Every structure is written in structure tokens, then in C-alpha cells.
Structure 1
Amino acid sequence: MRVGDIDISYDDQGDGLPVVLVHGHPFDRSMWAPQVARLAPRHRVITADLRGFGETTVVPGKTPLGVFADDLFGLLDRLGVERAVWCGLSMGGQIVMEAHRARPERVRGLILADTFPEAETPAGRAARHAAAERVLREGMGPYADEVLDKMISPTNVRALPDVAAHVLRMMRGTSPEGAAAAWRGRAERPDYLDSLSRATVPALVVVGEEDKFTPVDVARRMHATIPGSTLAVIPGAAHLPNLERPAEFTDAVERFLATVA
């Protein structure tokens, strides 16, 4: 679907409470397949490939979190969805926090999974710019091989070969230009703790117990910041609990959506 200056590839399944699932970096909307299968019989589930990822238009340069959020608002406008529950993992969670900060009236609920709410540090900015230059120089393969056992736990790399293959396929299949643009945009990430502290909608914070990128302490800090929020820690999972432990992750999401609906 044409939204602004790009063509967005998306799926819109089911009926009922609208739920937008926002993928992380460097993935695509296929990362939500287990959740779509479980949720679509009771909810309207919308997944989209973000700008620069999957089958959506690649725009080289820099893509700030606000641009990703605006793309999704534009898609929801085209689909006739005024308010939705927004669920995002990792970078997707930061896009959800940006959407809530910018247009809280469009957000009916927040699900923040394995994500980080605070402003980027100088060291983090440098690392993101370096990562962008690296994948433009080397392609996605070396990066994907290096981070696989951080995206999912080393145990799950061995125990869940189909999941490991899916995660590798998404990472290797991502456009280096799209990944680099997102890293450059994330290097400018603001602090979302203030807007989260003023949230008036239901919120769920989810984290894999073994996550090294956004550890449990980060999730607990978000949970303490967001009024009335719920925290779910998923055992046996690292940064992608929705794929490593899909039943447990989706159980937590379904319980939360029942309270929103």
C-alpha cells in the first residue's frame, strides 16, 4: 500500500480490537507469525514491514524513530484504524514509545518487549554509526552470524534450529541500506521515560529472562515508570521471546489484551 513516499507491505488479519505488531531490527513482519496465528481469531492483527525492511521500500540515509511511527500512523489511516494497541519488540518497542509520545490519543494500549526507553548515550551513538558503516561495507552476513546467539540464547540456537534459521534468514535478508538508515536514526533516540510516566493507557512490559541487549533490570525500570503496568519475564528466552518461547509470550499478550478489550 502506498503511504506517503513509500510502499508498505503489510498483513491485516482478523477482526475486533486492533493490535499493531512492530518488528525489531534487523527483522521483518514474519517475526510475528506465531502471534498472528494465535491472536487473529479474536483480534484484528496488523503487521507491516518497516521502511527499509522486508518488502517495504528502502530509503537510504537516516530513518529516525518518528519517521517509522509516522509511516505506521499513515498505514492505520489508510486502513481506517483510529486507535490500536501497539506492540513492539526492541527497535519496534522504541517506535511504539515514539508513537505514544507523539500521538497518545491514537494508542489504546502499550506492549513493550525487550526494549530500552532511555536516550542513546554517546558511546551508543558511536556504536550505531559504526554498525551502519560496517554493514554497508560487509553486507549483513557477518553481523548476523555474530549476533545470532545474542538475539536468541545459545541454548536455543542449538535446541530450536528452525527458529535460529528464521532469525538468520531475516537478518541476512535485510537491506544493508535499510539497516544502516535505522541505526543512524536510532543513534538520535530521545528519552521516553517522561512520556511513559504520564501514560494513561494499559501497558505490558515483556522481557526474555536471558536477554543481554535489554536485560530484565531495564524492563523492571520501565514497569516501575509506567503507572499500573504489568511485567512478564519469559524464562528460557533471550532477546526474541516471541520466537524462542512463543506460547508463553503470547499467553502474556492475550491476558493483557483481554483486560484492554
Structure 2
Amino acid sequence: MILVYKNANIFYTDQGKGSVVVLIHGFLENSTMWDKIVPELTKRNRIITIDLLGHGKSDCLGYVHSMELFSETIEAVLKHLKIRKFILVGHSLGGYISLVISKMNPSKIKGLCLLNSTSEKDSEERIKIRTRANKMVQNNFEIMVRMSISNLFNQENLLKFKEEIEVVKKEAMQTSLQGYVAANEGMKNRLNTNAVLAENNFKKLIIVGEKDLVLDLETSKVEAKKTNTELIIFPDGHLSHIENTPELIITLKKFIKACIS
């Protein structure tokens, strides 16, 4: 389905009945990343997925997609669907956005799960990487996208998930060049949101990969401890929805149940 927001088409899906769970994908992904997760969660819940600005079937809105702007579009969809309270599950970039939504509307949040994500802001090194990537992608979009995807997996899994990796790369190519750059600009400018986890009483969960090349495991451990957030560690990389699908489904079902009990 499509919602027009500020003259931009925003694609979303709405499936199932029950407690509302909003699934927010990450950078270079779209709502199809949840295809193996949604059928399991819709057995008892109403699941909303949304293509972020510049990703999948959604349009861009300018040349910097801040976390706040991403959040506005998601809230517009939820308002259109007359949804008042919900659980958020955000993967990577989706987690950054989920934190902003929770910061602005804590009374609406039943639970927040950061999947391969963090409330920490970008390090100086990561900011430099994003700046460099935005320059390189202008002339080498496909190469940059394909390289980015391969680096998200536990390197020991590259052969095991060869077919899945090709699918992820194909979906990533649906991201527009403008969407790639705008999201990177937004991510490198985002603020630290530790306080969202530390100061709210809704259910909170961080899921990380032990061999994630994007997020540092020790940093996630410290983050979870200082914000009083439950931490679950899977054995692989940054794409837990592919590398650890059964474990993730079980974990999300348990988390959702805890949020509504």
C-alpha cells in the first residue's frame, strides 16, 4: 500500500491482527527483509512494515534524510492507520529511527528492540567512512552496494549464505543513489540516544551479533549495562534475520509477549 506524505510515496504493508508491531528495516534494505519473519509474527500480532525514504518502493524527500525525517514518515503511516500504541523492532538504521520515535512519543511505545543496532552516535572513524562512501558511490554505485552487503555477514558465512547474499544485493540495488547518500548523511549526523533506553520504562532489548563487523560487541555490552537494557548475543554478523533466523523468531516472539503481558 502507498501513503503520500509531503508529495512522496511511502510504501507499507499491514498484515495480521492483535498487538501492533512495527518492523523498520536498515540501510540498503527494504520491507522484504522481514519476509521470513512476518508470517511467524502475524499468527498473533498485527505487523506493519514500511519502506524508508529512498529505499524499496518509497521516494526520497530531499538530500539529507535525518532520523527525525525518517521518523516523521513512519508516524504519518501509523497515524493514517489510526494506531496509537505499538512495539518497535528496528534493524541497524531502523534502530536509530526507532529510538527517535521513542524519544518523541514514549507514551505510545510498548517495547523497543534494537536489532543489530545501537543508541550510540557514529564514531569519528565511522563518520569518515560514510563521507568517503558518499563520494565513491557517485561513480561506482553498484560496486559500492555489493561490497557493503558482503561486509555485513560473518565472513565465515559468505559461502553458506551465497544465495541469500545475492538476493540481499538485488534488493539493495532498489535503493536510489539519492536515497543512499541522504541516509548516510542522516546517520553520520545523528545524536547519541542512550537516554531513550535509560530513562524509559517500556520493555527494551538489544540483539547483536558476536562477529558483527559494523558494531563492536564490547561497546554493546557497555551500552546495555549502563542503560539497563536486556542484551542477547547471536553468534554471527550484522544480518541476524538471515544468519540466525530461527533464533531471531523465537526471541522476537518472546519479547513481544513480554511487552503485552
Contact 2:21 2:46 in 1 (8 A): yes
Q: Indicate the residue corresponding to 1:33 in structure 2.
A: 35
Unaligned runs of 5+ in 2: none
Alignment partner of 2:158: what SS?
helix
Contact 1:10 1:47 in 2 (8 A): yes
TM-aligned CA deviation for residue 169 of structure 1: 1.2
Alignment partner of 1:80: what SS?
coil
Worse-matched range after superposition: 98-107 or 66-75:
98-107
AA aligned to 2:108 is R
Give the TM-score, by structure 2 length.
Answer: 0.93
TM-aligned CA deviation for residue 60 of structure 1: 4.2
1-side partners of 2:107 and 2:198: how far apart? Answer: 16
Alignment partner of 1:109: what SS?
strand
Structure 1 position 190 matched with structure 2 position 207: no
Unaligned runs of 5+ in 1: none
| 1:198-236 Cα shifts (integer Å, max 9, x gaps) | 021001110122111013223322321333x3221112x
TM-aligned CA deviation for residue 250 of structure 1: 1.2
Q: Indicate the residue corresponding to 2:121 in structure 1.
A: 119
Give the TM-score, by structure 1 length.
Answer: 0.93
Alignment partner of 2:206: what SS?
strand
AA aligned to 1:86 is L
Q: Indicate the residue corresponding to 2:245 in structure 1.
A: 246
TM-aligned CA deviation for residue 68 of structure 1: 0.4
1-side partners of 2:258 and 2:136: how far apart? Answer: 44
- Which of 18, 21, 27 is 1:19 aligned to? 21
More helix by share: 1
| 1:140-171 Cα shifts (integer Å, max 9, x gaps) | x1113323332112222211222111221122
Q: Indicate the residue corresponding to 1:146 in structure 2.
A: 147
Q: How many residues align?
A: 258
TM-aligned CA deviation for residue 6 of structure 1: 1.7
Structure 1 position 9 matched with structure 2 position 8: no
CA 1:169–1:66: 2 relative to 1, 3 Å: same
2-side partners of 1:39 and 1:75: how far apart? Answer: 20
What is the root-mean-square deviation in Å for CA atoms of aligned residues? 1.5
- Which of 44, 47, 60 is 2:46 aligned to? 44
Equivalent pairs: percent with the same residue?
24
